[in-house]
């Protein structure tokens, strides 16, 4: 339906505009990136491109492999030319909430080691300020033994509520690709995301936050009718 068409339009537009022969490409996680990887594979075959793909999750690894693309590692390719990823929300300054799919830590590592980082998504993700569309809170990856004091620290320092993300088809909490747990922090009235990100990151036991502040170079948003807008 409309949302999938929007995701696909954004993904194809971005791949057509940004992917070039010889690139090392960071491949994000989630559902939108699937369309991007399928388009990359199409272009590689049609144009005989040589690209190397670095995954941001087990899902991304499997997606790269299943689409016949070259699966590479940060050991071999520590400098990434371009990283492509989805997001849960993107504000007017290109700050993102990511981690809805629980892959934020490896996603942020890849994005931070890329020369350029681009977001792709349907127009639901395009907002003026964070929290407008995405109501599930900021995902935070934490060391399992510390999740409870971290919850208390975040709530004491920043308000809101930090909830342990529970699995649906496995008993107990979601366990990330890195063997950690996730908190989803439901916030109120936040404007200084740089400050908030720093406060959360400094709490011992916090591995990473889903706040990607001033990291994206541009965001491609697709609508149901196939049109794409670019926020730079």
Work out whether 28 is an interface residue with ligand DER (CB under 6 A): yes
Site string for ligand DER, 99-128 (x = CB under 6 A): xxx-xx--x---------------------
Site residues (CB under 6 A) for ligand DER, limited to 66-85: 85
Per the CB < 8 A criterion, the answer to whether 101 and 29 are in contact is: yes
CB of residue 47 to ligand DER, shortest distance in Å: 25
Kindly tell me which of 24 and 96 has the beta carbon lying closer to ligand DER: 96
Work out whether 215 is an interface residue with ligand DER (CB under 6 A): no
Work out whether 29 is an interface residue with ligand DER (CB under 6 A): yes
Instruction: Select the residue interacting with ligand DER from 31, 113, 161, 197 (CB under 6 A).
Output: 31
Q: By C-alpha distance, which of 193, 184, 210, 201 is closest to 56? A: 210
Could you say which of 107, 141, 155, 208 is catalytic?
107
Work out whether 87 is an interface residue with ligand DER (CB under 6 A): yes
The number of angstroms, rounded, from the C-alpha of 59 to the middle of its chain's C-alpha atoms is: 12
Kindly tell me which of 29 and 123 has the beta carbon lying closer to ligand DER: 29
Residues 152-172 as b/e (b if ≥16 CB within 10 A, e otherwise) read ebbeeebeeebebbeeeeeee
Work out whether 26 is an interface residue with ligand DER (CB under 6 A): no
- What is the token pair recorded at 83? 């990283």
Work out whether 137 is an interface residue with ligand DER (CB under 6 A): no
Work out whether 222 is an interface residue with ligand DER (CB under 6 A): no
User: In the block, which residue shows the tokens 């999938």?
Assistant: 4
The C-alpha R_g of the chain, in whole angstroms, comes to: 17
Q: Is 107 a catalytic residue?
A: yes
Q: What is the DSSP letter of 149?
A: H
CB of residue 205 to ligand DER, shortest distance in Å: 21
Residues 6+ apart with CB under 8 A from 142: 150, 180, 181, 182, 183, 205, 206, 207
Cross-strand pairs, 26: 54, 83
Kindly tell me which of 49 and 174 has the beta carbon lying closer to ligand DER: 174
Residues 84-112 as b/e (b if ≥16 CB within 10 A, e otherwise) read bbbbbbbbeebbbbbbbbbbbbbbbbbbe
CB of residue 79 to ligand DER, shortest distance in Å: 22
> Which residues contribute to the site for ligand DER (CB under 6 A)?
28-32, 85-88, 98-101, 103-104, 107
List residues with catalytic annotation: 107
């Amino acid at each position: 339906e409309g949302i999938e068409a929007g995701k696909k339009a954004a993904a194809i537009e971005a791949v057509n505009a940004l992917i070039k022969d010889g690139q090392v490409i960071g491949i994000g996680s989630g559902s939108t990136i699937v369309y991007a990887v399928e388009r990359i594979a199409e272009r590689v075959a049609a144009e005989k491109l040589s690209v190397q793909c670095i995954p941001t999750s087990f899902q991304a690894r499997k997606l790269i492999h299943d689409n016949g693309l070259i699966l590479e590692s940060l050991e071999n390719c520590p400098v990434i030319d371009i990283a492509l990823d989805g997001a849960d929300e993107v504000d007017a300054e290109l700050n993102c909430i990511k981690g809805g799919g629980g892959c934020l830590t490896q996603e942020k590592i890849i994005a931070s080691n890329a020369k350029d980082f681009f977001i792709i998504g349907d127009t639901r993700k395009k907002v003026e300020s964070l929290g407008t569309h995405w109501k599930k809170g900021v995902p935070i990856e934490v060391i399992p033994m510390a999740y409870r004091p971290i919850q208390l620290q975040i709530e004491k320092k920043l308000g809101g509520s930090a909830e342990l993300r529970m699995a649906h088809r496995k008993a107990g909490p979601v366990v990330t690709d890195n063997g950690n747990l996730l908190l989803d922090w439901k916030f109120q009235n936040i404007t200084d995301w740089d400050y908030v990100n720093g406060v959360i990151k400094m709490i011992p036991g916090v591995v990473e936050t889903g706040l990607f502040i001033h990291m994206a170079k541009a965001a491609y948003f697709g609508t149901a009718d196939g049109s794409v807008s670019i926020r730079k």
